[in-house]
Structure 1
Amino acid sequence: MTPVQMHPRPASANPIHRTVAEVMDAAGPQVCDDMSVEVALSVMAAARTGRLVVCDQDGQCTGLVTQAELTAVRDGSAYTDRVRLRDILGDRWTFTSPVTTAAEAERTMRYLRLGALPVVDEQGSALGILALSR
């Protein structure tokens, strides 16, 4: 029989105590909120991603848009090439902090029916994206 040395697991290994910073994905492409829907869709295609972090002129995160959202806007009867990302986001700025527990962030996302949530620092800069596993 071979002896096995046991090491205590760090507290962060417990899923209940893990923070958003430990489980978030990289922020990916970040675009300015004055970008048009068509250009944003092109950026997504080139980056092979289904979502973009949207920032204002000061580099502060203002939200997240998905390919499905942008496609629905583009295919809508009210669409013009003057529609900008800021027009789509409106006032639905929902974010999370990197020190929030992953469990708490997941509850919030499920309650608000969000598939992904930007993770921002104290200055409002995007650090990453927290996405629900399906």
Structure 2
Amino acid sequence: MTLVQTQPRPADADSTHRTAQEVMDAAGPQVCDDMSVEVALAVMAAARTGRLVVCDQDDQRIGLVTRTDLTAVRDSGAQADRVRLRDILGDHGSFASRVTTMGEAEHAMRSRRLGALRVVDEQGSAPGILAFSR
């Protein structure tokens, strides 16, 4: 597995020493946290992606949901058309700063078994998400 990068880099650049800011990935389409699980599954299918970036009403990235997260809610018997993404967002405790190196971020993601890691700025906003590519 390798980390997804949004910017081209020189062939000789060592990605483990680059910062999170340099390689942040939006990780998928952005949706609002008031979207239902059922609609989010449809968006995911249409976009042919396995994850969605969740934003609040101020357009700040607040989390990430995966197809696994959404199908677990749907398969649990909950009414997926009434459950909102804000209700199922996972652990907000795992994050990296903009200056975290990719080596540090990859280590944290692997040791915590995370598919994605929020990047948080000095104000606590999440300007991006790092994710492993498929």
Alignment: residue pair count: 121
1:98–1:121 CA contact under 8 A, matched in 2: yes
CA distance in 2, matches of 1:126, 1:47: 22
1:53–1:126 CA contact under 8 A, matched in 2: no
2:111 aligned counterpart, secondary structure: helix
Question: Corresponding residue for 2:95?
Answer: 95
2:63 aligned counterpart, secondary structure: strand
Q: How far off is 1:50 after superposition? A: 0.6
CA RMSD of aligned residues (A): 2.4
**Unpaired segments ≥5 residues, structure 1:** 1-9
Instruction: Tell me the amino acid that sits aligned with residue 126 of structure 1.
Output: P
Question: Corresponding residue for 1:31?
Answer: 31
CA distance in 1, matches of 2:43, 2:133: 24
Question: Corresponding residue for 1:115?
Answer: 115
Question: Corresponding residue for 1:82?
Answer: 82
Question: Corresponding residue for 2:6?
Answer: none
TM-score by length of 2: 0.75
2:97–2:121 CA contact under 8 A, matched in 1: yes
Are the structure 2 counterparts of residues 121 and 56 from structure 1 closer, same or farther at C-alpha, using a change threshold of 3 Å? same
Instruction: Tell me the amino acid that sits aligned with residue 21 of structure 1.
Output: Q
Question: Corresponding residue for 1:7?
Answer: none
Q: Runs of 4+ in structure 1 displaced over 6 angstroms?
A: none
**Unpaired segments ≥5 residues, structure 2:** 1-9
Question: Corresponding residue for 1:55?
Answer: 55
CA distance in 1, matches of 2:84, 2:69: 13
**1:44 maps to 2:44:** yes
**Higher Cα Rg: structure 1 or 2?**
1
